[in-house]
Structure 1
């Protein structure tokens, strides 16, 4: 929804520019409009977290990270879903922590059925693990799958250090953003 709203605002501003200053103004505004539209798509629509039998894939705006189950050593939710491995900490753009209002209105009924790995030694649950928050919801899915694999002895033990985490940059998006920025600079200098 945020992507479509952003596109509507960008299109409206570009059209208004055309109504005020003509077709030439619209053509000069296009590189900025395209760049902002792409940025809105990358930030609001593109990010996601995919949980599969192989592991967890976090598609962030400019980078995709795949964490195999064997490499995972902890799941955190302080500011967003964060997968911890011996190789580093990887945050999911698509699973942010809860907002202030959600924290204030959370009740005990939300805490039933949470995976045991979501609780600390005292049985307390971190704010980011609230099931209504994107971070808590996705962390619950990840933890349940991880627990299931461990309980059914489908998860190799002691190989986290040797299991690589796969990351790759979204080169197409980076190139398109760079071209849009170059277009904005060219228009500004002419």
Structure 2
């Protein structure tokens, strides 16, 4: 999602520069459109992510953040996008991490062997298997499972490193503020123009 976001952000910056070069600051309301675009691009393309920390997993979505401690994670699903569930069935998905078609990887060499379609025969003489693409829901889910194993091992060695058993969903105030500011910019541009 970063590549389209960067391209769109560059287009907004070019628009801002062109507006300033052509009219200076005689018409400041014309700058509000690309500024609103930059704010929305940040909210939709740049801000959403999943971070693995020592305490657990943090998912940043469009207008809410989800923090899940390692002990609270019961199930990690990656069918359509990445979803994390607790023992009570409460779950949230990630806006940033979606499912992708796996790629074919040669088992012996580890070299990407082109896109694979359908099921893979494990007795295939070419030695190719399907591998998760980096950044896909399957790859991030695997990293979370590895993090859970690492956390369990760390707690077994030293119980004082135990993380909080929490599943917290909070509003993402910076993103909400950016959306509100973008709407205000558009409203002012429309009424002034």
- The normalised TM-score by structure 2 is 0.68
Q: Find the aligned partners of 1:25 and 1:40 in 2 and give their Cα distance.
A: 26
Within-5 A mapping of 1:53-68:
53-68=54-69
Contact 2:36 2:185 in 1 (8 A): no
- TM-score after normalising by structure 1: 0.69
1:153-164 alignment, distance < 5 Å: 154=156, 163-164=165-166
Matched positions, count = 163
Shift of 1:64: 1.3
- In the alignment, the residues of structure 1 paired with residue 39 and residue 166 of structure 2 have an alpha-carbon distance, to the nearest angstrom, of 31
Q: Aligned partners of 2:152 and 2:175: how far apart in 1?
A: 37
Q: CA deviation at 1:25?
A: 7.6
Alpha-carbon distance between aligned partners in 1 of 2:20 and 2:155, rounded to the nearest angstrom: 64
Q: Which runs of 5+ in 2 are unaligned?
A: 111-129
1:92 is aligned to 94
2:113 corresponding residue in structure 1: none
* SS of aligned partner of 2:58: strand
Decide which structure has greater helix share: 1
RMSD (Å), alpha carbons = 3.2
Q: Which residue in 2 is equivalent to 1:173?
A: 175
Is 1:183 matched up with 2:181? no
Distance 1:184 1:91 in 2: 30
| Equivalent-residue separation in structure 2 for 1:33 and 1:143 (angstroms) | 41
Separation in 1 of the partners of 2:18 and 2:154?
61
Q: Which residue of 2 aligns with 1:123?
A: none
Q: What is the deviation of 1:47? A: 2.2
- Cα 1:187–1:61 shift into 2, 3 Å: same
Assess, with a 3 A threshold, how the Cα gap between structure 1 residues 25 and 80 changes in structure 2: closer, same or farther: farther
The answer (yes or no) to whether the contact 2:43–2:179 under 8 Å persists in 1 is no
Within the alignment, does 1:106 sit opposite 2:107 as a pair? no
CA shift in 2, pair 1:151/1:171, >3 Å: closer
Instruction: Give the whole-Å Cα distance in 1 for the aligned partners of 2:178 and 2:51.
Output: 25
Which stretch of structure 1 is more off in the superposition, 162-171 or 1-10? 162-171
Contact 1:2–1:44, Cα closer than 8 Å, also in 2: yes
Decide whether aligned partners of structure 1 residues 130 and 23 sit closer, same or farther in structure 2, where only a CA change above 3 A counts: same
Q: Distance in 2 between matches of 1:149 and 1:18?
A: 53
